[in-house]
Amino acid sequence: MAPIYRTFKNDDEAVATIERLKGEIHEDNIYVITHDDDHTERVADRTDANTVGVSETGFGVSVKNIFRKKGDELRAKLEELDFSTTEAERLEEELDKGVTIITVQDPPSGLSI
């Protein structure tokens, strides 16, 4: 099943949503993505949510990401989370605006963020 997601402009709302989701699904399926790595880590640390790393992208993509521009890196990460190329491009544009994206991999039917 395709991943589901929601964008947030407020970290407290993102954190509250992650905490709610952890009561409904396994936390290994919840990911945080922002345009800034430090921001991503801060939100993930507050909630024990996942960030997109080597285990999700694989070693080859992770090495390539070192040399990519930030937008290219984010699109590659989103595609590794099973977003289509078109959707990854659209979401990367949202990340450019400063939003936080919470995504759920393999969501059960009927789950909403």
For residue range 10-30, list pLDDT tens digits in order: 999 999 999 999 999 998 999
Site of tokens 């945080």: 32
For residue 38 the two structure tokens come to 């430090």
The pLDDT assigned to 59 comes to 45
Does this model's pTM top 0.85? My answer is no
What is the chain's mean pLDDT, rounded? 85
H-state helical runs in 1-113: 11-22, 37-47, 54-67, 70-80, 85-96
d(C-alpha 21, C-alpha 83), whole Å = 20
Output the pLDDT for position 34.
94
Residue 80's pLDDT band (boundaries 50, 70, 90)?
A: confident
Rounded CA separation 14/12 (Å): 5
Residue 3, both tokens:
């991943």
Give the pLDDT confidence score for residue 63 in this predicted structure. 47
- 41-69 residue pLDDT tens: 999 989 988 886 435 544 454 445 454 57
